[in-house]
Structure 1
Amino acid sequence: MTDDDDDAEFREWDRRACELDEIATAAAERGDLAAAGAAHVELADHMFQVAPYDDVIDEYLAAREAYQQVDTVMATRCMLTIGFIAESVGDYHTAQQAFTISCDEWDEHGERRLHAEASNNVGGMATHTGDYEIAEQALLMAIAEYEDLGLPDEALGPRINLANLYRRAGRREMAESEFRAVRSALPATSRVSILCTASLGALNVESCRFSEAVSELTDAVEGFTAIGAIDDVRDTTMALAFARAMSGDLASGISTLLQVRQEFSDIGRPDKAAVCDYNLAIFYFSQNDFVASDLAFEHAADGLAQAGMHHQIPNLSWNRVKRLLTEAGMNPARQDELVAEALDTAVSSVIAIDYQRFQFADSRRRAEWTATFADRLATAFDMAHKFGRPDLVADLIESGINAGVHNGHADDSMNSLAPFDNSESGSPRFETPDDDESAETLSAAARLLSTAALPMNPPPALIAASNTLLLGPQRELAGRLDPLLADVLAASPEVRLW
C-alpha cells in the first residue's frame, strides 16, 4: 500500500467519523436519544484501535448518557464495554470501576447471569489492582450465583480467577488445589484447561521447582499455540523464559524475555513489559551487571506505574536491596553509599507494606499481610544493626511498636556484603511482581491476632523529642512509590514520643 493509499484511507475514516458525530448531535437535538446513543456507539466502534483510547471511552460515555434516559440496559452495556476496553490496554483501575458499576446495574435489572459475569470481571480486575478483599468477595459471589443458576461450567472462569488470587496472595496450596480441580473437569485441549496448566507452572516457579515449571509451561505454550491463543502464548512464553533461566539456561532466558518484552511494548501493554523488565533485572544482577539491572528495575517501576499497579512497586524495591548489597560487597570505594541506599530502599518498602495491610477489612487477612510486614521489618532492623546504623535501629523499634507487629523473621541473605554466589541456582531467588507474599502459615502470635479486632486505621506518624519525624526520609521515599500511599502518609496523624 502506497502513502497515497494510506492518506485516502485515513480521509475516508475521518469523513465517516465526522458523519457519525453529526448524526449523534442531530439526533440529540431533536430529542431522539436512542438514535443519539446508537450513533455514539457506532462512532466509538469506528474509532476503536485508531483514535486515542480516551476518545473512544468518551464516546461510550456519551452513548451511555443518552441511553440512560431511554434504555437502561443499553446504558449498562456501554459501561461494560468501557470496562473491556480499559482492560485490553492494561488500565485496570478504570476497568474495575466500570465493571463494578455494571455489576450493580445488572443486579438492579434482575439479570443474574450477567451480574455473575460482571462480578467475575470485578474480581479479576481487583486482583490486578491489589484490592484482594474486594476481589475475593466478587469472585465468591460469581461462583455462588452461577452454581445457584445451575451453570457449573460458567463457574469455572471465576474459580480460575479465585485460584490466581490465592496465588498472588501467597495462599499457594489453595491455589494449586483449585487449578487442579478445574483442569480435571475439562478437556485437555480447552483454553481454560491449558490456562490451569500454565498457572500450575507459575506456581512451581514461585516455589522454586523449576524443572516441573519448565515441563508445565512448555506444555502450556504448545497447547496455546495449537489453538491459536496468541496473547496466552506471549504470557506463558515469558514465564517459561524465567523458569528456564532459573534452571541454568540464563542466556536463552534473557534472549526470550527481550523478544517477548518488545512484543508487549508493540501492542501497548506496559504492565506485561514491566514483568519482563522485572525478571531481566534479576538475571542481569545474577551476572553482576549492575548497570543493566538498575535500568531494568527502573523500566519495570515505570511500567507498573503506567499501568496503575503502584501496589507492586514496594515489592520491586525490596528485591533491589540485595542487588545493592551485592555491589557494596564488590566495590569498597562505593560501599558506604550503596549500603545507605540499600537501607533507605528497604525501610521505604517496609513502610509501604505497613500501610498496604489496611486495605483489608477482615482481621484474618490483615494478620496474614502483617506476617510479611513483620518479616521485612525484622530484616530491615537486622540490616540497620549489622551495618552500624543505631539511629535507624531506634527508629525502627519505635515504628514496630507503633505498628503493633512482632515475631518477624529476618532474611539472613540481606545482612552480608559477600558477593552473591549463583554457581548452583543460576540466578538469585526474588519475588516476582505477582508474588505479593502473605504467609499462609501464621506464627502463634499472629494466630492470636487473627481472632482479635486488629486496628482499622494505619498507625500515626511519630515525632521525636528533637521535633523531627521518625523515618522521615524513608517515608518520603515510600510516598514516591505510590501516589495513593503518599496521600495516606500525608494525612496520618502525628503523635509525639515524649
Structure 2
Amino acid sequence: MVEPPQARPPRVFPTSAAPRRGSTSTTRSAALFVPCNIPDHPGRGVLLTATDDSEPTPEDINKAADALFTTAIDHIRHRRYDQAATNFGHAHPLYVHLGHLDGVAQCAYNLGVIAARWKQFEHAHHYYRWALDAYLDLGVDSAIAKCEKSIGDVLTQLDQRGQAAEHYARAAEIYTRLGLESEAADLEQHLGVMAYQTGTIEQARQHWYRALAIHTRLGHELHAAECENGLGVVANNLGEPEQALAHCTRASQIFTRLGKEHESADCENNLADITYGMGDTEQSRGHYQRALELYSRLGLEEEAADCESSLGGIARKSDEVDRAITHYVQALEVFTRLGLESKAARCENNLGAIAADSGRFAQARIHYQNALGILVCLGDELRAGICEKNLAGVLFDLGEAEQAHVHYQHASAVFTRLGQDRQVADCEQGIAAISWRSGKLEQARHHILTALDIYARLDHEYQASQCMVNLGVVLRQLGDIDGARVRNARALELFTRLGYEHRAAECERALGHIAALEGHFEQAVDYHRHALDVFTRLGREHDTAMCLLSFGDIEVFRRRYEQAREHYVHAEQAFTGLGMVTESAECERRLGALAADSSEEHERARAHFEKAFGVFVEKGVNGDAAWCQWAIGMMWRRQAFGADPAERSCLLRRAVQTMVPAVMFLDAMRFQFPSSADRIAWARQIEDSTRSLFEAATESGDEILVADLVESTVNAGVHTPHGGDNGLGMDALAARTREVFADANDPGTPDRWPDAASTKTRNGIRASDAGPSGDTDAPDKPPAPGTHLGGTGRLIAGARLPMLPPPRIRMPDHHLTLDPWAETSDHTYPPLHRRPRVITLT
C-alpha cells in the first residue's frame, strides 16, 4: 500500500496584492497563500490577506483556521457534508502551516469520516493515516486507538481483512491499557466476527470469550448475548452441540427479554440448525417456525424464505411430502421474485428430489432442468454437476438411458476435475445401473466395484451399502443367489440401524425376490408385504408399483395365475401413470408370459410381447428386447404344433427366423465376462432359450442350421476377450437372418436390436412348454464347459464336428457359415494339442 505523504510545513509563496471584490479602495494589503497538501481537494490552497502592508500574523492564521473548523463542525451537525469537507480542507493547511498537530489531526480525521460516509474508502484511508501520524507525534493514546479502529473499518470495506484485524488488535490493546473496557470489548467482539468469517474458528472463540467476560462484568446484556450466540455457532462447527445449545439458549433468552426481534430470529435459526444436527427434528422444526414468524413480522423476506426452505428439508426427512412441497414452493416464489437465483436453484433441486422419490419422474426432470439452467448461468460448477447427476437419475427412470449416460459422464468429468470423489462414485453407480439395464453385466459390476472402493476409502457406510445392494442385483442375474442374499442382508442391517426406512424396504423386496426363487413363498410374501407397507406410508409410488410387480411374480411361482395377472395389471397402470414406460413394458412382458401358458391365447401373448419389444428397442433396453423376441418366436413355434402340416412348416421357419438373432445375441453376451466361470453362469441363465432354438431348428428340418448352431456354441467359456464389448451386434444379426430366410413369410424384423439380457424367470416361458420335443430333464449343472446346452445333447450325439475355436458367424448363402475367430485379433486361445482333427461326440 502506498503511504500518503507526511504532513510538513508548506512553502509560503508571496502573491501580488489584489483588491477585495467590490472594493474601490486603493489601499494595498499583504497576502499569504498557503497551499493545500490534501489529495484531490478542490482548492489549491488558502489565500489570507491583511488590511495593512504586513503579512497575516500567526494569530490571524489561527483565528481563520479555527473559524473554518468551527463552521465545518456546524455543517456536519446540519448534515451539510459538502460544505464541511470544504472548510476542513481549508483549515487543514493552515494548521499545518502553524504546526498545530492537534488541529491537523482533527481536520484529517473528520475528512476521513466524511470520505467513508461517501464510500470513498481509499481517500478515507489516507485521511485517517494522516490523523494517526499526527496523534502518534502528540502521544495521545485514546486518539491513536480511535484512528486505528477507523483505519480497520475502511480496510475491511476494501476487503483487506488481514491488515484490518491488525489495526483492530492494536486499538483493543490500547483501550485495555487505558482501562477503557467497553471499547476494548467492542473490538474483541468485532475481531471474533472477522476471525469467524475468515475460518479461524478457534481464534474467533477466544475473542468472543474475552468480549463476553467484559460485557457481562459491565452489564452490557445485548452485547453479551451477541457473544453467546457467536460462541454457540463456533461450538456447533467444532462438533460440540451440547455446548452450542447452552450458549444459544442463553442468548435467545436475553434477546427475547430485551425485545430484540431480529436478533431473536437469528438465534432461533441457529438453535434450529443445532438441534437438527443433534437429530431432534421436531425441536428444530419449532425453532425454524419461530424464526419464520419473527422474520415475517419484520418484513425480512429473504430470511423468512430461508426458514421455509429449511422447514421443507425437515418435512422431507420426516416423509411429509405434501408439507415439504408447500414449504419449498413458497420459498421458491420469494427467491425468484427477489432475484436470488442461487437459492431458487436450490429449491428447484429439492423439489426435483421430492418428485423423484415419489416416482413423479417427469415432474422431477422439469425441476432439475430448471435448477441446472440457473446454476450453469451462475457458473456454479459443483452444484451444477450435482444437479446434472440428479437429472441423469430421473432420465434413467424414464427410460432415457442414452441421455442419462451423457449427463452422468459430463457430471463425473466435472467432479473429477474438482476433486469431488464422493460425487464421482455416485456417477459410477448411475452408469452401473445403465450398464445393467442394457445387459452389460460385467461393465455394471466394474462400475459398482469402482464406486464401492471410493465409498470405503471415504468411510461412507450408507453409500457403500447401496453399492452392495446393486452388486447383489448383478449377482442374482448371474445366478449367484447366495452372494446376492448375503449382500442384501448386510445392507438391510445397516439401513435399519441408520434409520433409512425406504432403503431397508428396498432390501426386503430384493430378499423377497430371492426367497421366491428358492421356493420359500411365504417368506417372500412377508418380505414384500412389509416393504409395501413402508412404501405406501412414505408415498413412494414407483416402489409401491415395483412391489405389485414382485407380488405377481410370486403368484406365478405358486401357479396362481389370475392373482398374478391382477398384480401385473395394477402395476402397469401405476407405472404408466408415473411415465415409467420401461417398467410398463416389463409388465406387458409378464402378461404375455401368463397368456403364453394358455394354449388358446397365442395371439394375445404375442401382442403383449410385441408391445414390450417395441418399447425396449426404443429405450435401448437391449437384453429385455432380445428376450421378448425369443418369446415371440416361441409363440410362433407353439402355434405350429396345432397347425396342419403345410402351415406348420411355414410357422416353424418363422419361429426360427425370430429366435435366431435373439438367442445368438444373448449367447454372445457371455463374451463380456473375462472369466470362464462367469460365462458358464450366464450360459446357464439362458439355457432355456438356447435349447429351444436347437429344438425349433431341428423341428424345421434344417440340419445344416443345427450343425452351424452347435459349432458356434459348443466351445462356450474357452476364449478370453482382450477388452471392449465383443458381443455380436443384433442389428447385424437381424440383417443376416433376413438373408437366411429371405424366402420365408417375413413379418419384418427391426433394424436396431437391444443388447441386454434378463433371467429366464422374468419371462415365464420354458422351452419345455413349446411342445412334445421339449426336454424337461435338463440337468441343473452342465457336465463340462462347452456342453452347457443340457437337453440338446441328444441333438449333437454322433455328429462329426471339426475341432476349431469358436467361429464368427456370417451368412452369404442362406445358411450360417463359420469363420474361425482365431483369425481375428479380438480373441486369443490356448494352443491346441490334440488329434485327430475331427472327433465324434458320444
Normalising by structure 2, report the TM-score.
0.42
Q: Quote how far apart the aligned CAs of 1:373 are.
A: 6.4
| Contact kept in structure 2, 1:355 and 1:458, CA below 8 Å | no
Alpha-carbon distance in 1 for matches of 2:774, 2:396? 42
In the other structure, the counterpart of 1:293 is 605
Alpha-carbon distance in 2 for matches of 1:129, 1:446? 26
In structure 1, the residue corresponding to 2:810 is in which secondary structure?
Answer: strand
Q: Does the C-alpha gap of structure 1 residues 335 and 381 become closer, same or farther in structure 2, counting only changes over 3 Å?
A: same
Residues 1:113 and 2:422 are matched in the alignment: yes
Q: Output aligned runs, 1:389-428, within 5 Å.
A: 389-400=702-713, 413=768, 416-417=771-772
Alpha-carbon distance in 2 for matches of 1:366, 1:245? 28
In structure 2, the residue corresponding to 1:182 is in which secondary structure?
Answer: helix
| Contact kept in structure 2, 1:325 and 1:417, CA below 8 Å | no
Alpha-carbon distance in 2 for matches of 1:92, 1:178? 26
Alpha-carbon distance in 2 for matches of 1:227, 1:45? 17
Q: Quote how far apart the aligned CAs of 1:238 are.
A: 1.3
Q: Output aligned runs, 1:68-87, within 5 Å.
A: 70-87=379-396
In the other structure, the counterpart of 1:310 is 622
Q: Output aligned runs, 1:63-462, within 5 Å.
A: 66=377, 70-187=379-496, 190-207=501-518, 209-288=520-599, 289-332=601-644, 334-360=647-673, 365-366=678-679, 368-369=681-682, 376-377=689-690, 379-400=692-713, 413=768, 416-417=771-772, 444-445=784-785, 460-462=808-810
Q: Quote how far apart the aligned CAs of 1:144 are.
A: 2.3
Amino acid at match of 1:445: P
Determine which structure has greater relative contact order: mean sequence separation of CA pairs < 8 Å that are 6+ residues apart, divided by chain length: 1
Q: Does the C-alpha gap of structure 1 residues 375 and 193 become closer, same or farther in structure 2, counting only changes over 3 Å?
A: same
Q: Deviations over 1:323-348 (max 9, x none)?
A: 33333323336432332222223322
Q: Quote how far apart the aligned CAs of 1:110 are.
A: 1.5
In the other structure, the counterpart of 1:4 is none
Q: Quote how far apart the aligned CAs of 1:290 are.
A: 1.3
Alpha-carbon distance in 2 for matches of 1:461, 1:419? 26
Amino acid at match of 2:584: A
Alpha-carbon distance in 2 for matches of 1:131, 1:106? 25
Q: Output aligned runs, 1:468-487, within 5 Å.
A: 468=813, 470-471=815-816
Alpha-carbon distance in 1 for matches of 2:780, 2:474? 13
Q: Quote how far apart the aligned CAs of 1:178 are.
A: 1.0
Alpha-carbon distance in 1 for matches of 2:664, 2:430? 31
In the other structure, the counterpart of 1:477 is none
| Contact kept in structure 1, 2:637 and 2:651, CA below 8 Å | yes
Q: Which piece of structure 1 moves more, 288-297 or 149-158?
A: 149-158
Q: Quote how far apart the aligned CAs of 1:261 are.
A: 1.0
Q: Quote how far apart the aligned CAs of 1:245 are.
A: 3.8
| Contact kept in structure 1, 2:676 and 2:717, CA below 8 Å | no
Where does the alignment leave 5 or more consecutive residues of structure 2 unmatched?
Answer: 1-335, 720-765, 788-804, 818-825, 827-842
Where does the alignment leave 5 or more consecutive residues of structure 1 unmatched?
Answer: 1-19, 24-33, 422-438, 448-456, 473-491, 493-498
Q: Does the C-alpha gap of structure 1 residues 225 and 403 become closer, same or farther in structure 2, counting only changes over 3 Å?
A: closer
Q: Does the C-alpha gap of structure 1 residues 92 and 219 become closer, same or farther in structure 2, counting only changes over 3 Å?
A: same
Q: Deviations over 1:8-48 (max 9, x none)?
A: xxxxxxxxxxxx9xx9xxxxxxxxxx98x999999999999
Alpha-carbon distance in 1 for matches of 2:767, 2:667? 21
Q: Quote how far apart the aligned CAs of 1:173 are.
A: 2.0
| Contact kept in structure 1, 2:509 and 2:528, CA below 8 Å | yes
Amino acid at match of 2:382: V
Q: Does the C-alpha gap of structure 1 residues 417 and 214 become closer, same or farther in structure 2, counting only changes over 3 Å?
A: same
Q: Quote how far apart the aligned CAs of 1:229 are.
A: 2.4
Amino acid at match of 1:215: D
Alpha-carbon distance in 2 for matches of 1:251, 1:377? 29
Amino acid at match of 1:135: A
Alpha-carbon distance in 1 for matches of 2:623, 2:575? 21
Aligned-residue CA RMSD in angstroms?
A: 4.3
Alpha-carbon distance in 2 for matches of 1:72, 1:386? 62
Q: Quote how far apart the aligned CAs of 1:230 are.
A: 2.1
In structure 1, the residue corresponding to 2:620 is in which secondary structure?
Answer: coil
Q: Does the C-alpha gap of structure 1 residues 327 and 114 become closer, same or farther in structure 2, counting only changes over 3 Å?
A: same
Amino acid at match of 1:94: Q
Alpha-carbon distance in 1 for matches of 2:774, 2:445? 41
In structure 1, the residue corresponding to 2:460 is in which secondary structure?
Answer: coil
Q: Quote how far apart the aligned CAs of 1:272 are.
A: 0.7
Q: Deviations over 1:53-109 (max 9, x none)?
A: 999888777667656xx4432442343243133134221232233223323332321
Amino acid at match of 1:298: E
Q: Quote how far apart the aligned CAs of 1:321 are.
A: 4.2
Alpha-carbon distance in 2 for matches of 1:58, 1:151? 28
In the other structure, the counterpart of 2:243 is none
Alpha-carbon distance in 1 for matches of 2:392, 2:413? 14
Q: Deviations over 1:386-414 (max 9, x none)?
A: 442223223324544798879xxxx8726
| Contact kept in structure 2, 1:77 and 1:102, CA below 8 Å | yes
Alpha-carbon distance in 2 for matches of 1:206, 1:58? 40
Q: Which entry has the higher C-alpha Rg, 1 or 2?
A: 2
In structure 2, the residue corresponding to 1:445 is in which secondary structure?
Answer: coil
In the other structure, the counterpart of 2:795 is none
Q: Does the C-alpha gap of structure 1 residues 223 and 121 become closer, same or farther in structure 2, counting only changes over 3 Å?
A: same
In the other structure, the counterpart of 2:738 is none
| Contact kept in structure 2, 1:379 and 1:414, CA below 8 Å | no
Alpha-carbon distance in 1 for matches of 2:344, 2:814? 57
Q: Deviations over 1:343-369 (max 9, x none)?
A: 223322222124333444566544544
| Contact kept in structure 2, 1:96 and 1:122, CA below 8 Å | yes
Alpha-carbon distance in 1 for matches of 2:365, 2:489? 40
Amino acid at match of 2:619: A
Q: Deviations over 1:260-281 (max 9, x none)?
A: 2122122211111111111101
Alpha-carbon distance in 1 for matches of 2:464, 2:807? 40
Alpha-carbon distance in 1 for matches of 2:809, 2:785? 25
Q: Does the C-alpha gap of structure 1 residues 460 and 93 become closer, same or farther in structure 2, counting only changes over 3 Å?
A: same
In structure 1, the residue corresponding to 2:399 is in which secondary structure?
Answer: coil
Q: Deviations over 1:168-222 (max 9, x none)?
A: 3332221112112222334398222211111122223444554443333233222
| Contact kept in structure 2, 1:357 and 1:370, CA below 8 Å | yes
| Contact kept in structure 2, 1:80 and 1:98, CA below 8 Å | yes
| Contact kept in structure 2, 1:382 and 1:415, CA below 8 Å | no
Q: Deviations over 1:288-334 (max 9, x none)?
A: 31121111111111222233202221122233444333333233364
Amino acid at match of 2:453: A
Q: Does the C-alpha gap of structure 1 residues 389 and 209 become closer, same or farther in structure 2, counting only changes over 3 Å?
A: farther
Q: Does the C-alpha gap of structure 1 residues 294 and 153 become closer, same or farther in structure 2, counting only changes over 3 Å?
A: same
In structure 1, the residue corresponding to 2:462 is in which secondary structure?
Answer: coil
In structure 2, the residue corresponding to 1:460 is in which secondary structure?
Answer: strand
Q: Which piece of structure 1 moves more, 208-217 or 191-200?
A: 208-217
- What number of residue pairs does the alignment pair up? 407
In structure 1, the residue corresponding to 2:606 is in which secondary structure?
Answer: helix
Amino acid at match of 1:342: A
Q: Does the C-alpha gap of structure 1 residues 57 and 460 become closer, same or farther in structure 2, counting only changes over 3 Å?
A: farther
| Contact kept in structure 1, 2:680 and 2:785, CA below 8 Å | no
